Amino acid sequence: MAATPSTNAGATEEMSPSAELMRLVNAYQVSQALHVAATLGVADLLVDGPRDVASLAETSGSHMPSLYRLMRALAAVGVFHEGTDRVFSLTPLGACLTGDAPGSRRNYARWIGTPGQWRSWGNLLHCIRTGESAAKFTCGVDAWTYRAQNPEERAIFDSAMTGNSRAEAEAVLAAFDFGRFGSVVDVGGGQGHLLRAILLAAPALRGVLFDQAQVVATAAPAFAADGLADRVEVVAGSFFDAVPAQRDAYVMKAILHDWDGREAIEILRTCRRAMAASATLIVIERVVGPPNEDAERKFSDLNMMVQYAALERTGPEFRDLLAQGGFALREIIPTRSPLSLVVAHPAAGA
């Protein structure tokens, strides 16, 4: 008989090592259940109050007996609450599975179960044996090309990254004052969510959103809606070739962890060529912690390996990488999110 994920909030006895290991082994079941719930949007259906499973099934287009089994399983791990007569309501965890909640994880839960991501993790063993990207082995092309060839999955991925950025931007702004600068370039800034948050927090600051043409093509209206059209410039290009020059600060959020050492150094050198000696580089990434702790960042590191044959880095690894790219590490500033700000300046003579 197969064991189930054992995260019963009502259990009072300490779990045995064997039972705890079995809970970890079966954690994939919770991930897939959350993916299905997010895809069906059942948490959003509970925003206005409790509903019985029959109405949830009808609205979500689901098979009612099967949906009940999904909902009761997720209620057992605290995502929903099951009342009498198969009526379900949101818990604080479940509220984070709604689409418009602060800190929403709905789109991330949708993404982790998409074929490209789910199947790639199934080939982690190949990745560990060879050092190659499991995504490329699984899909036949690198993860970026795969998503370009599968626009539906790419849209889910993009929305997942945007959802993560909302919570992360708040944490970054709480930890660092961008008002000290006159101008900032968001290198590889996507649709500009972080840059918009920075500009709104620092009214005198001017910004440049820099990313590939197809990425930034639709970014301008969001800046205009926030009243920022006259304070931002949207520039298309590749950070392997050149970035906008002679600004005060250069921000790169979740960029370097997508690339191995050689390509990450190339990106840094591109930025260095554009920067004055007085400029500041702010790399916003996970910084891997010491042995026997920091599971979130270390499993994120595995995800970078699976997806891109890339990595999350430790503090010393960032110091060495920056030095090879022409920078001197100044400080690492943690935030209340998993991300830290790795602050650097152009190295003398670089």
Domains plus CATH for the chain? Answer: 17-102 (1.10.10.10), 164-346 (3.40.50.150)
- Convert the pLDDT of each residue in 40-56 to its tens digit: 999 999 999 999 999 99
- Convert the pLDDT of each residue in 98-148 to its tens digit: 998 888 999 999 999 999 999 999 999 999 999 999 999 999 999 999 999
Q: What is the pLDDT along the chain (350 residues), one digit of tens a residue?
A: 444 454 454 444 688 999 999 999 999 999 999 999 999 999 999 999 999 999 999 999 999 999 999 999 999 999 999 999 999 999 999 999 999 888 899 999 999 999 999 999 999 999 999 999 999 999 999 999 999 999 999 999 988 988 888 779 999 999 999 999 999 999 999 889 999 999 999 999 999 999 999 889 889 999 999 999 999 999 999 999 999 999 999 999 999 999 999 999 999 999 999 999 999 999 999 999 999 999 999 999 999 999 999 999 999 999 999 999 999 999 999 999 999 999 999 998 77
pLDDT at position 100, please?
A: 86
Q: pTM, whole model, 2 decimals?
A: 0.89
Of 93, 116, 76, nearest in space to 38 by CA: 93
Determine whether 257 is an active site residue. Answer: yes
pLDDT at position 13, please?
A: 62
pLDDT at position 350, please?
A: 72
pLDDT at position 165, please?
A: 80
Q: Residue 134 phi/psi, 5° resolution?
A: -65, -30
Six-digit token pair at 140? Answer: 């036949």
Residue 113 near residue 35 (C-beta atoms within 8 A): yes
Using CA atoms, how far residue 53 sits from 31, 50, 58, 172, in Å, is 21, 10, 9, 40
81, 193, 257, 345: which one is catalytic? Answer: 257
Q: Residue 151 phi/psi, 5° resolution?
A: -60, -30
By three-state DSSP, how is residue 172 classified? helix
